């Protein structure tokens, strides 16, 4: 499986993936997303057997992120750097920010997971208010 190519359905760039499960794709799987593979799902299911509360922890974390962004925008913040942003899902930082202050906020998404960056590409994912950068380590 090493060196296989992922073509993102959201229109982002092609990326070459390694053989290991990825934290970002595991998170995506547990949250019900589509950007994950058998290697990620098997690892996630193994973890969920060991730690069943992991799913509610991830969902709660995501809800906290949205509340925190909403609070920050309501407090006047207009620029965000989302480090370890994960794969795009519903209620991404720029979407929450746009709900509170339409067209005013800018978000830079940073992740070292190749699919996260491909999907967060301005054309494929986050639109005008977001920019995606790949962390190399």
Ligand X SMILES: C[S@@+](CC[C@H](N)C(=O)[O-])C[C@H]1O[C@@H](n2cnc3c(N)ncnc32)[C@H](O)[C@@H]1O
To ligand X, the closest distance from the beta carbon of 117 in angstroms equals 9
To ligand X, the closest distance from the beta carbon of 30 in angstroms equals 9
To ligand X, the closest distance from the beta carbon of 97 in angstroms equals 15
Query: Residue 19 or 103: which CB sits closer to ligand X?
Result: 19
Residues 6+ away with beta carbon under 8 Å from 66: 91, 96
Candidates 92, 100, 47, 49; CA nearest to 71 is: 100
Q: DSSP class of residue 126?
A: I
Query: Residue 27 or 129: which CB sits closer to ligand X?
Result: 27
Query: Residue 100 or 110: which CB sits closer to ligand X?
Result: 110
DSSP 53-122: THHHHHHHHHHHHHHHHHHHHHTT--EEEEET--S--TT-HHHHHHHHSTTT-EEEEEES-HHHHHHTSI
Query: Residue 112 or 131: which CB sits closer to ligand X?
Result: 112
Phi then psi dihedrals of residue 79, to 5 deg: -125, 135
To ligand X, the closest distance from the beta carbon of 137 in angstroms equals 6
Which positions touch ligand X (CB under 6 A)? 23-24, 27, 61-62, 65, 84-86, 110-113, 116, 135, 137
| Structure tokens, 45 | 């299911």
């Amino acid at each position: 499986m090493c060196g296989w190519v992922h073509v993102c359905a959201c229109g982002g760039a092609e990326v070459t993936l390694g053989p290991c499960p990825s934290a970002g794709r595991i998170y995506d799987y547990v949250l019900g997303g589509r950007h994950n593979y058998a290697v990620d799902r098997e690892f996630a299911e193994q973890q969920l057997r060991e730690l069943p509360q992991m799913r509610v922890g991830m969902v709660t974390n995501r809800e906290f992120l949205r509340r925190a962004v909403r609070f920050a925008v309501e407090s006047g913040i207009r620029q965000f750097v989302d480090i370890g942003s994960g794969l795009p899902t519903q209620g991404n930082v720029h979407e929450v920010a746009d709900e509170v202050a339409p067209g005013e906020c800018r978000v830079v998404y940073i992740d070292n997971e190749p699919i996260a960056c491909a999907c967060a590409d301005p054309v494929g994912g986050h639109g005008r208010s977001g920019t995606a950068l790949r962390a190399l380590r």
